[in-house]
Amino acid sequence: MPKVNRENPEDAQKIIDKFIADESAKHKILSFLSNAIIFANDLNHQNWNLNLDKNGGFIRLNIGQEYCIQISSRYVYILTLKEYIRKRLAETQLDIKFIGYDGEKDVVMSDLENVPDMLTKVPDSVVCSIKNQNLASVLPYLEEANREFISYAIKNTSIISKMVRAHSTGFVTYLSKYCQKHIPNPAYIDEVEFQEDLVSESQNQKNGAGFGNPETNRKVEQAATSLVTSEYEENGWTVKSVETEKRGFDLLCTKADKQECVEVKGIQGEFISFIVTAGEVRQSQINKNFVLCVVTSAITAPKLYKFTAKEFNERFSLETISYRASLKQK
C-alpha cells in the first residue's frame, strides 16, 4: 500500500473503511473517538495527538505520552482505569480481553484481576482489547472508564515533539465531516503551521477559510465575494462593499425597505470552517439584519450557503485560536 498522507481526509476514510466495513460499528467507534478528542481538548488543548500511521496500520489517539484509543484491522484497543472498568464488568458480561505486560512481552487475559500492569505512567491502567465486530455492544460501557484514563494522563504526562509531528489533520477533517460536528485540532497545529514538514499543500486545499497562503486566500475571498454580489444583484438587490469601513460585515445589500448586512466567507475546500473576528461575531449577536454567506470550493466549484444571525449562533461552534496580549498599565 502507498504511504498514507496524514493531511488527506480521503486517505483517512480509506483506512477506516478498510478496518471496519460494518457501518454501525464504524459509527460507534468514530463517535467514541470524537467524544474522547473533544473531552481531551477541553481539558488541555495541546496535550494530545491523533496519529494516522503512515503505513496504514492503525489510527491512534495519544494523550500526553500514553496511547488512549487505537483502531486497527481486527481490534480496537482502549485504555481504561481498572477500578472503572471493574464496575462495568460487574454490571454486564462484556466480550473483552485485557492486555498487560509481564516484563518481557504482552499478556492477553480474560480475567481482569490478574492482568499485569502496563508500562505506563498512569497507575492501575489496563488495555481493553475488543474485536471490531463487537464494538457496537461493548463501547457504550467503556466511555466513563476511558474518560477517567484521559483525565489522569492529560494532567500527568506531556506530549513530545515526535508525537506533534505525527498528528493527522486529515483524519480530524474526515472525522468532523463523518460525525457532522466540529472536531478540533490541538492548539500546536497553529504554532507549526508554517513548517514545511508539518503542513503540506494538500492540507491547505482541504481546510477552511484563512488556512492557506495569503495569495490563495485573497483569490478565494475575491471569488466568493464576486459570487455573492452577483447572486444578490440578480435578485434585484443593490450591493455596496463596506469591507474597508470595518463594520463587522462586508456587503451592505438593500432592496426597497429591506436591508441585509452580509459577511462573506470564502473556502477553498468543501468543509465549512473559517476564521471569524470578534467584530463579526458581535454583529451576529446585535444586528438582526446580519447574514453570513459561505462559499465552499470558491475557485473550482463554488457552492453558496446562507445563514441568518440566529442560524449562525445556533449552528456554529466557536473555538478560540489566538489572543491579543497587551502589557497591563499600572
Residues 105-138 pLDDT 10s: 777 888 787 777 666 678 888 899 999 999 988 9
Look at residue 203 in the predicted model and tell me its pLDDT. 38
Contacts of 21 (CB under 8 A, 6+ apart): none
Rg of the chain taking only CA atoms, in angstroms: 23
Task: Check residue 195 and give its pLDDT.
Answer: 33
Output the average pLDDT for the chain.
85
H runs (alpha helix) in the chain: 9-19, 23-43, 82-91, 135-138, 143-156, 161-165, 169-179, 188-191, 201-206, 214-234, 278-286, 309-315
Question: 59-63 and 303-308: which strand pairing?
Answer: unpaired
Q: Where in the chain is the domain with CATH 3.40.1350.10?
A: 214-315
Burial pattern 268-286, b for ≥16 Cβ within 10 A else e, equals bbbbbbbebeeebbebbee
The pTM of the whole model exceeds 0.75:
no
Stretch 75-102: mean pLDDT: 84
**% helix, strand, coil for the chain, step of 5:** 40, 20, 35
Is residue 63 pLDDT above 60, yes or no? yes
Q: Residues 201-213, buried b or exposed e (16+ Cβ, 10 A)?
A: ebbbbbbbbbbbe
Position 202 confidence tier, pLDDT thresholds 50, 70, 90: very low
Least confident of 155-164, 201-210, 321-330: 201-210
Residues 64-69 have a mean pLDDT of 91
pLDDT band at 221 (very low <50, low <70, confident <90, very high): very high
Round to whole Å and give the CA distance between 4 and 146: 28
Higher-pLDDT residue of 73 and 114 is: 73
pLDDT, average across residues 207-231: 80
- Torsion (CA) 101, 104, 106, 111 in degrees, nearest 10: -50
pLDDT value for 216: 79
Asked whether the predicted pLDDT for residue 191 surpasses 50, the reply is no
Q: What is the pLDDT of residue 330?
A: 62
Residue indicated by cell numbers 440578480: 234
Give the HSE-up count for residue 104: Cα atoms under 13 Å, Cβ half-sphere.
0
| Number of C-beta neighbours around residue 178 at 10 A | 18
Q: Are 95 and 53 in contact (CB under 8 A)?
A: no
What's the mean pLDDT in 170-192? Answer: 81
Q: How confident is the model at residue 209 (pLDDT cuts 50, 70, 90)?
A: low
The pLDDT assigned to 95 comes to 83
Q: How far apart are CA 125 and CA 144, in angstroms?
A: 13
Across 57-86, average pLDDT: 92
Give the domain 214-315 fold. Answer: Trna Endonuclease; Chain: A, domain 1 (3.40.1350)
Residue 21 near residue 75, CB atoms below 8 Å: no
261 has a pLDDT exceeding 90: yes
Task: Report which of residues 236 and 162 the model is more confident about.
Answer: 236
Q: How far is residue 266's CA from residue 106's CA, in Å, rounded to a whole number? A: 51
**Which carries the bigger pLDDT value, residue 162 or residue 285?**
285
In 10 A of CB 83, how many CB atoms? 10
Mean pLDDT of 257-284: 90
Is it the case that residue 146 has pLDDT exceeding 90? yes
- pLDDT score of 204 more than 60: no
Residue 193: which pLDDT band, with cuts at 50, 70 and 90? Answer: very low
What's the CA gap between 294 and 290, in Å, rounded?
Answer: 13
- Dig out the grid coordinates for 275 from the structure: 476564521
Q: What sign for the dihedral angle of Cα 318, 321, 327, 330?
A: positive
Predicted local distance difference test score (pLDDT) of residue 90? 79
CB contact at 8 A, 65 and 160: yes
